[in-house]
């Protein structure tokens, strides 16, 4: 695949990997590993039931899953985060292309309110160009092996989510949600909690942005003067996701405590 081709399936495969990279920063996988260790040693006070069965199966299936090092290598290669600075396979262009696209959408949103028609048309073309360049990058780095890794990571995240959301697990930590379970385990056993609000928002909004790119590859690939971003539900969802991601990025990485 060349850098100029836009492939919706390859772009779509990047979504679960980007979300997993953000959840990795939140310590989602580390928390699950800690729960498995506690359960294995009899120090996790939950009864025999669905949560226990999932924890056992997670432990039993450990060898086939991607290791922490393999996950971080994947994140680095696909979206340029989590790897070593000297990693020759890292997607070093992703961060700039990502920020440029989000900024172009934000500028267009302001222009739609106050700018003249000519300026709005210019801003629409800026979104098209930035989206095309980002989609090209994701098409290249989401190709081949990435499809299978994305599917595996998506399944693993669903499994972890089901365990952390289980009433027995939440009760063991006096937590109202899986995010509180992550905070409590991280605080007690992993050296401190991260900002769940930040990484959860970045994972969710990032997936929405990547999904929009995948659905609009045909339009992004066209040389056209018609608007690329319209005020239909799909367009409004993209605008909201870009705003959410930008706001979350400004949050501190570590848990800021109650507000």
Instruction: Tell me the average pLDDT across 7-27.
Output: 97
In whole angstroms, give the CA distance from residue 61 to residue 63: 6
Q: Within a domain: residue 174?
A: yes
Could you give phi then psi for residue 78, rounded to 5 degrees? -90, -45
Chain segment 57-101, per-residue pLDDT in tens: 999 988 788 999 999 999 999 999 977 665 778 999 999 999 999
Condensed to tens digits (0 to 9), the pLDDT of residues 139-195 reads 999 988 899 999 999 999 999 999 999 999 999 999 999 999 999 999 999 999 999
Count of domains for the chain: 1
Residue 257 lies in a domain: no
Q: Which H or E element spans position 202?
A: helix 196-215
208-237, pLDDT tens digit by residue? 999 999 999 999 999 888 899 987 899 999
Whether residue 255 is contained in a domain is answered as: no
Average pLDDT, whole number, for the chain? 92
Q: Does 40 reside within a domain?
A: yes
Asked whether residue 256 is assigned to any structural domain, the reply reads no
Q: How far apart are CA 99 and CA 15, in angstroms?
A: 16
pLDDT for residue 41 is more than 60? yes
> Residue 1 above 60 pLDDT?
no
Are 203 and 19 in contact, with CB atoms under 8 Å apart?
A: yes
| Average pLDDT score over residue span 102-131 | 91
Residue 102 domain boundaries? 8-249
Residue at 259 is within a domain: no
> Would you state the structure tokens that stand for residue 101, as one six-digit string?
């696209």
- Give the whole-angstrom CA distance, residue 33 versus residue 44: 12
Answer yes or no: is pLDDT of 2 > 60.
no
Looking at the domain assignment, is residue 236 inside a domain? yes
In a domain? residue 3: no
């Amino acid at each position: 695949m060349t850098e100029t081709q836009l492939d919706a399936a390859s772009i779509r495969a990047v979504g679960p990997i980007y979300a997993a990279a953000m959840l990795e920063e939140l310590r989602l996988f580390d928390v699950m590993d800690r729960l498995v260790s506690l359960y294995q040693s009899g120090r996790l006070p939950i009864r025999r039931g669905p949560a226990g069965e999932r924890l056992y199966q997670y432990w039993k299936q450990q060898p086939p899953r991607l290791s922490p090092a393999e996950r971080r290598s994947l994140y680095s290669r696909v979206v340029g985060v989590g790897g070593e600075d000297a990693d020759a396979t890292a997607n070093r262009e992703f961060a700039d292309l990502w920020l440029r696209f989000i900024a172009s959408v934000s500028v267009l949103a302001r222009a739609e309110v106050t700018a003249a028609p000519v300026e709005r048309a210019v801003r629409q073309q800026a979104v098209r160009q930035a989206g095309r360049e980002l989609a090209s990058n994701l098409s290249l780095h989401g190709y081949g092996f990435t499809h299978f890794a994305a599917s595996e990571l998506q399944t693993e995240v669903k499994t972890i989510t089901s365990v952390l959301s289980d009433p027995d697990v939440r009760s063991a930590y006096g937590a109202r949600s899986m995010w509180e379970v992550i905070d409590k385990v991280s605080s007690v056993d992993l050296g401190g909690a991260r900002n769940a609000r930040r990484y959860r928002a970045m994972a969710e909004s990032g997936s929405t942005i990547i999904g929009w790119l995948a659905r609009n590859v045909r339009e992004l690939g066209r040389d056209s003067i018609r608007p690329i971003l319209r005020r239909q539900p799909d367009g409004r969802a993209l605008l909201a996701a870009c705003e959410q991601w930008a706001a979350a990025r400004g949050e501190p990485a570590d848990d800021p405590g109650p507000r």
